[in-house]
Structure 1
Amino acid sequence: MFFGLFGKKDFRHYQNQGAKHLAAERYADARVDFQEALKLCPAEASHEAAAIRQGLDQACNHLGELNLQEGEHALRAGEAQKAYDHFCLAADLAADPAIKSRAHAQAAKLEQPETQAVAAKPAAAPAGAGNYKPHSGGSCTTCKGHGDHHHEEPAPMEMSMSEEDQFFLMVQPLPGDLPGRYAELGPKFAKAYLMIHDGNDRDAFPILQEMLLSGENDIVLYEVALIMFRAGQIHESETLLNRALALNPQNAAVYLALVHLFAGGGRYPQAIATVEKMLELDILPDQALFMLGELHETTGNVERAMELWTKSLDHPSVAKAAAERMIPILNRQGRSDDVKYLSKKYLKGCC
């Protein structure tokens, strides 16, 4: 849970990004993020790896379904080659055997000369199959005529959702009342937020700066602070976060940002004090308790970390993560009975 908010690229960062993209129906982006998360996931983190694979499979299955739909649409339009490429890509991408089977079956039909002739009849317009550029260079390794090629990473799918809908879905994972408050900031802020999400800080920054000219807002200050951090202006970022907190002492995202800023700079006493303030104000108490344990472990106070994670076991949202952090320590201490208990209760018997 305790990962770099500002850009520390560990596996949890990519896992979180993948989940956000999955929720926003950006399946190609989600696939890339989950693949990166899986690559960075430590060998001992088997349960995290399983969760990442689950997300990756979901993204790949959605991409498979989308390519099946595109293939069927192309087939109805008489674009046999385009349909064939989509079916092959669907077979390559999907993790679900049922989707793969459907895709293989559709592609196999198009390998039959008579099927191609029938499908090509409606395509009398100049934009026929011969002019089609295969989707993402896609190919199906089990389809004849394409087996010697390997498809590139699929390009992001065209999204049917409006920017308003994309923004709405993207802010839903935010803590507390922030989803509603983000939505209330209007279309100008939503545009900047989408730019930031796409990595375009440069164009988003002046929009947010202009908004601040008409009055300070803790959310806008927070987003500007993250931009400043990514630009390497750490002191300015911290100043903006403190201004945001002065405006709204209940903004959970600002507290989390400060914790990560302090910890990322090795300022662990300040990070610990910030998390303790969160607990005092009852702000994300479950996450705060777990993070406090991580901070104490990082500073070498394993005993205190174990105490905090033991308390975390009472919070369903972080109980599994706490058990996973405790088990390696208990193993080193030779406490096999405790390991078995935690594994059975929180990790479905795995250890």
Structure 2
Amino acid sequence: MSFFSKLFKKDRDYTYYLAQGDKYLAGERYADARVEYQEAQACCPADAAEDLKRIADGLGRAGNSLGELNFEEGTHAANAGDLQKASDHFSLVLELAADPALRSRATSALRELNQAKNAPAAAVKKAPAAHAHKSSCGSCGDHGKHADTPVEMNSDDVHEEDRFYLLVQPLPGDLPERYCALGPKFAHAYLLIHEGDDAAAFPILKEMLLSSENDIVIYELALIMYRGGRAHECEELLNRGLKINPDNATLYLALVHLKSDAGRFAEAIDIVTRMQQRDLLPDQAQFLLGELHQASGDNAAALEAWSKALQFKSMAKPAAERLVPLLASQGRDAEAKFLAKQYLKGCC
């Protein structure tokens, strides 16, 4: 269920995170995959040598893929004369990638960029004015604004901004832009949360909320409450956030997870139905209905929900993965084999 399955980061076996990482990697969602592999690595026992090797391999592949993407962005920025933005991307390659050849290319590119500071001032002034990232963070907006200054290759601030930018990209709809628009203070708190330091992030978000009501800040505070065992306060905050912005899909999904974790499946299903009525993440909402119906013991309703999810390209494969064993358990082998052939390359 994409990144929403880890909303509350409750204790899970490392194999869960490993499977999630593999799924995201196969779907070319490299930033998500990297996060899941890091979670798996953090809780994988030392005696699970084979799985540790798989995790390391997944981390390497995800990092290399992100590195390639950043190298392409850096090359494009350099060709456009945006030297600072190019430097930021090439530096990210060195931070993310393990592939020696890719790292060598990034190092060479950085060296060439650094030589630009020795170019005559007149030549530098001919370079086109730099621009912020396309669809980039408000907090990242200073990237590349000074093409006529020496390239800063080891800026912790730049790396923090870029890490934040990468982390929020999987969010749905306009949320990446909205998260970035909240500024550097929020970005710092978000990174603290990602690093597991809720205690340090909490006062920052609380202070932001005192100055202005914001559904995103409320959402992040709600998740901190939940992870701290304060489920009731979490639920109150999520409902408060929905009053501010009834179209924020993450608030609905967080409520769904909260209620399903408490065994309140009927309420969770009602929330997903509200999402569908507002046309919020219709593909994930339809798939989630099947999950909730099955968890509540209603396999017939689950089968119907997942059958409808097949119409969504993004959910067809995971829906088929649920439907095939369910149909087989009911003796409907012909239907199970058809779905396996149609969506799972014949595997059942």
Identify whether the pair has TM-score above 0.5, normalized to the shorter chain. yes
Match of 2:243 among 224, 239, 246: 246
Contact 2:17/2:37 (8 A) holds in 1: no
**Residue aligning to 1:288:** 285
Counterpart mapping for 1:181-220 below 5 A: 181-220=178-217
The alpha carbon displacement at 1:15 in A equals 4.8
Aligned partner of residue 320 in structure 2, secondary structure: helix
The alpha carbon displacement at 1:295 in A equals 0.7
State the alpha-carbon separation in 1 of the partners of residues 31 and 301 from structure 2: 39
**Residue aligning to 2:8:** 6
**Residue aligning to 1:33:** 39
Contact 2:21/2:32 (8 A) holds in 1: no
**Residue aligning to 1:155:** none
Counterparts in 2 of 1:214 and 1:203: CA distance versus 1, 3 Å: same
Cα RMSD (Å) of the superposition?
3.5
Counterparts in 2 of 1:349 and 1:61: CA distance versus 1, 3 Å: same
The alpha carbon displacement at 1:235 in A equals 0.7
TM-score after normalising by structure 1: 0.63
The alpha carbon displacement at 1:35 in A equals 5.7
State the alpha-carbon separation in 2 of the partners of residues 222 and 59 from structure 1: 29
Contact 1:31/1:60 (8 A) holds in 2: no
Cα distance per residue 1:213-247 (max 9 Å; x no partner): 11110000000000011111111111100110000
Task: Select the structure with the greater relative contact order (CA < 8 A; seq sep ≥ 6).
Answer: 1
**Residue aligning to 1:163:** 160
**Residue aligning to 2:269:** 272
Contact 1:23/1:170 (8 A) holds in 2: no
**Residue aligning to 1:147:** none
Does residue 193 of structure 2 align to residue 232 of structure 1?
no
Match of 2:325 among 323, 328, 332: 328
**Counterpart residue type for residue 189 of structure 1:** F
Contact 1:192/1:207 (8 A) holds in 2: yes
The alpha carbon displacement at 1:59 in A equals 2.1
Counterparts in 2 of 1:251 and 1:31: CA distance versus 1, 3 Å: closer
Counterparts in 2 of 1:35 and 1:320: CA distance versus 1, 3 Å: farther
Does residue 345 of structure 2 align to residue 309 of structure 1?
no
Counterpart mapping for 1:141-180 below 5 A: 162-180=159-177
Between structure 1 and structure 2, the one with the greater Rg is 1
**Residue aligning to 1:257:** 254
State the alpha-carbon separation in 2 of the partners of residues 37 and 201 from structure 1: 18
The alpha carbon displacement at 1:159 in A equals 8.7
Q: Sequence identity, in percent? A: 51
Counterparts in 2 of 1:277 and 1:225: CA distance versus 1, 3 Å: same
Unaligned runs of 5+ in 2: 46-50, 66-97, 102-154
The alpha carbon displacement at 1:23 in A equals 3.8
**Counterpart residue type for residue 312 of structure 2:** H
Q: How many residues align?
A: 250
Aligned partner of residue 162 in structure 1, secondary structure: helix
State the alpha-carbon separation in 2 of the partners of residues 268 and 275 from structure 1: 11
**Counterpart residue type for residue 60 of structure 1:** G
Unaligned runs of 5+ in 1: 40-48, 66-93, 100-157
Contact 2:287/2:305 (8 A) holds in 1: yes
**Residue aligning to 1:87:** none
